[in-house]
Structure 1
Amino acid sequence: MEHLFHGQNRHLHSIGFANALSQAIIREGNEENHTIASYEENGRTAPLLEDESLELHGPPWAKEGILKHKHHLEAMDKKSKDRHWNEVFAVIEKGYMKIFTFNMNAKAARSKAKRRPSAGGVVGGGNWADNAEELHSFLLRQTMASTLPPPGYSKTRPHVFALSLPTGAVHLFQAGTSDNVREYVQTANYWSARLSKEPLVGGVSNIEYGWSDNVINTALIGRPESSPTTIGNSGAPRQSIQSSIRSSMDHGTMKPRLPGDKVVLSDWTPPSQSMMASNLMEVDQHKALSAYVKNVEEEMQRHQELRAPLMIAFSPRHPNAGKAMANFEKKSAYLLRELVKFKTYIDALDYANDTRDKIYKEREERLKAEEEAKKEEEQGDEEAAKDEDDMSATALAQSYGSLMSAFDSPQR
């Protein structure tokens, strides 16, 4: 699959087409727009994009084109029922990724016709909106786009990227080239980085997951030492007694020996992700995300330091031992995902900032060149006008001399 548009003029035209398409569909479905997301956008004080002219330059602020789409997962570890690849028209802009199809079924076409106003129904130029159906609208918050490493999805689909949603759903998109994939990923991650609000870190909870101070500190301070093994004939009976104690404890017939065995453990679950939009300016958003990444790195280090104490806080065969370790691994995996996601966000903002600086520099150089060219043109006009004035003065003097000669001739 090749790029849909080539050249800057056609690219600018295509961005305009996508804007008109999405706006037309939004207007037709206006009754569905009173959502929490739209309410938040109306209440924003910081602009979504501080310089909207940047959208005209395409990625990482806007990207569109024809893709192949596959709904891979509906939720974590739950495959989608329909996992076919379908051709779609994708638009990423202003915090959303929308995908459209131009092959509406009869039911969708009738529904669309009923919502269409009878008078003045044509929006924009032509009836293209009549044939477009919005399949999905992805709110780019707490999402992450990532390129599938070689060989991609398969040998026949090498250029594929995944969009992971906070619900656990995953959508796959196939593009024509690796550059195209990179631009979609950069644009999707920029908007998620721009609008995602970082979670609070270090909240205090009374829920016991297996590594509270009550368990860990007690385990370090008061763990009973193992009794020395006796030598001789008494060794066998002693070993038998220990086995009996361990067996009794496994069957719950005696009190637990270690501090972790006494507590009631809850299942650890990741904290809910905030879907509220960040209201910070871009530079402040970068600072907030960087601070969050630093906090996550510190928490991850503290959490890993609990691994060794956790191993001695529970009896090896006690149910709490397995549950505590499962909780520990769940939190470790969550912290790692957060670290990867928010570092990706920071990289996306850094790339956008570098690209913006490059655009501004090129714009400044172009304006400077235009000013110099205009100045040279004005100087040329002034010199030409001066030469013309000099020639006019000379011609006028010659004409005056000829006229005076004509008056003098009869008198002689």
Structure 2
Amino acid sequence: MHIVKYLRPIWRGCSMVLLLATLTCSTVWAQGAAPAASGGGDAAAGEALFKNNCAACHAASDEVVVGPGLKGVMTRVPNKDWVYKWVKNSSAVIASGDAYGNQIFNKYNKLQMQSFPDLQNADIDNILAYVESAATAAPTADQAKADGQGGATAAPAESGLSTQYFTIILVALLVVLALVLLVLIMIISLLTKFLSNRKDLSDEDRELLEQRTDIGKVLQSAVVKGAVLIIAVLLLGKIGLDSVMRIGIAQGYAPKQPISYSHKLHAGEYKINCAYCHTSVYKGKNASIPSANICMNCHSVIKNSSPEIKKLYTAIENNQPIEWIRVHNLPDHAYFNHSQHTNVGGLACQNCHGDIEKMEVVEQVAPLTMGWCIDCHRKTEVNTKGNAYYDKLVAIHASKEPMKVATIGGIECSKCHY
């Protein structure tokens, strides 16, 4: 009877461990590659209006930013009709000789307030309602810092596992497989030693035993060569695929701009809403690049002696545009509409741009690849609240899984390519 034949399952086990490690690498790599105020206004609606139109120059508290703090503003102004006129066209109010208007104008360095003729009276009521509610309920700056509050809407946590987690899983699995392989080798070594000392071992068994435990012959075996070949092919394939997939991807790209501009200071510390500078982010296809006059709304009186601000003055004096360097750039054949995502979808800027309010220099955080966009469309639920268009669809999907963007055509080719 051949005693050594009982070692064959163990030798096969070592081979299976090696092949399992190969399959694990390929699998993990594949996965890794992917309240109403007293004035009757709506404070909730007023918050968005305030941040989009007022926050760059005014605070809802009594803090002076560029213009006066708006806390208790209705106790200082003549009446609400005066507020309507002032917001829509302050220049006309001043020119009419209005005493209070000229008093405010002179007190704040004769800085002309921007006019908002498109705002309706109801919109202004909503802003006043928000100011009143914010002034009475807003936490102090220290409380906000302690609570981790910021001026921008926080981006929802990413769903799914990131490449970093896949790498950790891969390393953990390889360590476990290496330990299993080590244990099997120790068992083979002990059994080999035990069998070699047996006097009743036949010459045929002894010869087979020597062949099976010869490391050189094991390394020359077809199983080991095949496993090494498969691993090499997978590694080269992964490297090649990553190289091809990264063509045009600028994740981490953070170019030096012609004028140093800190989003951390403006959007983070001063909590200026994105839409104040990127004026069409909620209503247009593009977010728009801010023009020099937007900068001058504040910097005509603030830090106008700064070397960086002097570059702004030079550009204006020479009638030359500021040549900002674009950071996020999609291929020409891909259609993307900002308003569809920010206004209709209700997504925060941080969903795609990362924690922009913490960046001294803006960089591209997300890969912005087709796969990344499609993955988001597959996971993001459609916000149908208050939209009668979706009533029947919601009823149809009520008994099924939640309606995702993919459900309403979000992953169809013609959605982004046409």
TM-score of the alignment, normalized to the shorter chain, above 0.5: no
Considering Cα pairs closer than 8 Å and 6+ residues apart, tell me whether 1 or 2 has the greater RCO.
Answer: 2
- Under a length normalisation based on structure 1, what TM-score does the superposition of the two structures give? 0.17
Q: Which has the higher strand share?
A: 1
- Under a length normalisation based on structure 2, what TM-score does the superposition of the two structures give? 0.17
